[in-house]
Structure 1
């Protein structure tokens, strides 16, 4: 594998493109918005500078990484002759199905189609293509340049060959791939999201405040950040979407999203991306500041 295309230039997309480019792959970063692509390149450069400051890479490696990146606003031009496409668009089933149907039509017959979905069925996505054996999940963790895990999800028809290729490719990115099967939430979010949801319920029911809940999990369970802070980083809208997938896919009421989470998303409080969630993210300080609505 040499040529990679990444669909979507948001947080996950630009992170995935960054990692592939840094490891010597020719990367096409594709987004319908030219402004979004410009912001993505600026983010990648900023993150490379951070790596230089930490002495993880050199200035020459930064320049080499940036040279490996090419941006496209037209999907067909961006995926021409690529060996692998990694889709990192919004976590929306209809959108992903539309993207994969189109990719199947315009990509070469040997191109592997991967999705960075955190919960949507790989089998369902593969079913809209004529290459279900070459469709697979590559669930990177955020922030992609830092986090080591890649959850590699096999759809019902994903071939052993495709799985082996993606597992070995992940290792070449200095990641640790873990193979899992295609069930709602896979492993990461099937375990993580109920914990986040229970933390929100604990707040909703008045068991404890935002800081208290996060402190218990950080100091008592050795988590690097509390579940409410993590939810803000993931995006409360994304958490809600994943919980809906779990609830609908597994049919168990324990996965039903907390009403507080539903209301926050409907009100536009989505965490870091919107500037407010359980914490305020527009306060200009590195210290955590609990959102006004949750202050005692």
Structure 2
């Protein structure tokens, strides 16, 4: 890590009345200079409640948009402005409105990995950590869930009394992992624990000893007595796992599961974004208000 640059960022952050938020999938050196590191749900709560005037969001676009939706009076900066999410781009507002016509009695639940435009035409937002709880708390029996069909299928298996209508989207990073790769690791390490993110294919999820969000995976591994873990999610999460558990061994399938968008943010990006107040997230106010309802409902139904 460039310690001199890190110190400059920390000093500049104080001068600019800024808070730095980083997702667990970010580069290790970016996580290390953040005030808060977490999964999507945790960071959305921090963004909503923080007192600072500027939020520097080290993540991808939908995360920074969510922070702006919840905190319209704050400046939200996305250091790597081209860091997008292919899964989020697989859903569009027009398609959601068409689904609503087709299933008029259904509630629309969108994964937080979605654009502001999609959130604006959805009823409730969710994350992988609270999706099952939120679906359980909705009185309607039919749920249109988007954009991730794998998370949606996982929810369907957990909540069989509901009918989950799936959108055909997926995470390109989690989709790469196969059942055969997991079984090969188990052959080499029969005592290894398999911790899986629900964005994976269902046949991979079924092999998991634990299935949950990045925050849930970290918590499970940190509070368990096992020695070896296969972490079936983006490789960035290993940074926090190793910091908390120096005596445990963590493996990642495919060598590394890397999201190229999450890795776009560098310390230089963070410094420049702070110094020049660049790459600010600007949203149309009418769109923001509509999207706000789905995010606030996430915090209400997720209790």
Normalised by the length of structure 2, the TM-score is 0.28
User: Which structure: greater helix fraction?
Assistant: 1
Normalised by the length of structure 1, the TM-score is 0.29
Q: Which one scores higher on RCO, CA 8 angstroms, separation ≥ 6?
A: 2
